[in-house]
Structure 1
Amino acid sequence: MASSSHVGCCCNWKSIWRTELPQKIKLFAWRAIRDIVAAKSNLARRGMNVDQLCPLCGECNECTLHMLVKCGDAKKVWYISPLRLEVEGKRLGSGVTRLGRPIKMRWCFEGKRYEISEVIHRAVSMVGEFEQAQEISYTIPPASTFDSCWKPPLEEVIKVNSDAAVFASSGVGFGGVMRDNVGDVVASTCFKLEGKFEVDVVEALAMRHALNIAIESGFRSVCLETDCLKLHNHLVKCMTPSTAFGMIVKDILQLALACHHVSFSFVRRSDNRVAHELAKLCISFNELRVWMEDFPSDVTALVLADQSQDNSKEKSVIYYRQQIE
């Protein structure tokens, strides 16, 4: 019995552990391949006094293979599941037609009864919850990746910060500011657009507008920075879903092809203050505004605050180096 039930085989274990599946599923797969799951034949082989007959079908001894794929009830689960697997090439039509009445599955480990449909529902739900958790973990970067303040770009790169504001009356405002590696403003812009839009769409529109102004101003090496995490992640991963938001992301990526160098950065909303204030100023303007090597006096204090934060950090680094030397 041991030889007939053995499912061990040469396997690349790393391929199992690297799969994006819940840990309990990977562990069970590993145990099944090693033929060390608690099937009744395995328990008997270890010296336990148990009835080896399968508690579900009552026709064969319960080995690992029988428990997973050869048992009639197991075959029904595989076939009725979203995978629609016909184990061993046998159609299970008669088994499917019998699903209209309650089919109970008795799991000897828990001493409970489950309908096949409930087993499938629980499995699909678990996978769905896992995928949702994975999606959240991908869209939320570690806290250490957030900048504590606005940082200037590398030399010869222009950082383009953008933001949007939604006005209670009507319309939305786009704000954009372009700064060099010492924090000096090389261009800034405001633009108001009438209409109602989703928040993520507005953020994407603001970046597209700011990038357009940067390109028209002759800047070809840019770092596009936003405080919208969804927008940042879609740009980094080049994701362009068939939605209004996705179409604008696609526009941004297409515009970026006109540049020699493009990178994307995420910043906290509290550290994107200049762009946000420019977006709010749009309520005072009825047309596009662009300032070359200048900016509205309303954001002077914020521009200087960003510069002073960077200068303070640089002085601290210089002082520290002098101390250790």
Structure 2
Amino acid sequence: MEDKWIPNHPGNKILFHTKYDEWEWGVSDLIDWRVNQWDRDKIFTIFHHFDAEAIIRIPLSRRQVEDRMVWMHCCNGKYPVKFGYRVAHMLAKDAISKEESSEQRTENRVWSQLWKLRVPNKIKIFGWRACLNILPSKVNLARRKILIDATFGVCQRFPETVSHAIWSYSAAQDVWASANARIQKCGGEFDEFLHLFQFMMSKLSLEELANFLNWKPPMGQLYKLNFDAAVFANGSGIGAVIRNAARDVMAALSVRGAAVNDNEEAKAGACRTALEFATNAGFSELIIEADNVTVMSVVSSLSPNWSRLGVIYDDVRCLAAGLRQVVFSSI
């Protein structure tokens, strides 16, 4: 009960005692080895619902592999000596700047990223003013008693805030629809443009804000496998498509996935499912392409991964090893 084996869970261990506390059980007893998945009925019978939900979110390997110790605070699961120095530096920095609020630190990171964008300076200044909410929107002008009516003059339905005029308004969304595919995924309503910008910077790289994504067909006799994942409140979704050099769709997949903890887990699981689909469909010469640089760099690396998602990455590598030719690529 005291072992720390549940990632992304308070204390990384079981929180609520059960009537089976005295039972000498192991984690392997909670797995249905016939399908290499968690035994949901047993888990929800034994554990509190809060603990059970966390357990079934732990990714399992498709194969039977040995247990291993991982360092939760590094993405590759290994503890580097420099991590200790980094923590010490962060603690010292926090002690010096303890008067600075978390909100101020977040905004400082926003400004740092904003000024690094490779766009004309006038665009940076416009973005800076939008984030500070000092553009002359009708809401801001009404707040200063310059105008009385703050309704957006085009749609005549909502107040003219900076975020509504630039992002939420239907005509603005039509413009964004022709932009980078990953920008299109950053949908939703945001009360302030600063919050929208923070969300985008957490999802996109600096280059992705300036470049369009163009799909390129594979060369020769190779096939290209593209996959993606979406995260929902009660699960995830996985999509995959295989095309040839003539851009013809050879096979496609769309399935519901398990509940996940974050985007990386969703993309790693989607990669495994997509590669299983391609293998079962008989494709053995593939270019595997996706938009998550982290996932694609890990699965293409020869170094072992000891993170909580290591079992998924190992499954992908085992599947890839059975192909005649495979290339991993990120877009």
Normalised by the shorter chain, which TM-score bucket? 0.3 to 0.5
Structure of larger gyration radius:
1
TM-score between the two structures when normalised by the length of structure 1: 0.37
TM-score between the two structures when normalised by the length of structure 2: 0.36
Q: Comparing both structures, which one devotes a greater share of its residues to helix?
A: 1
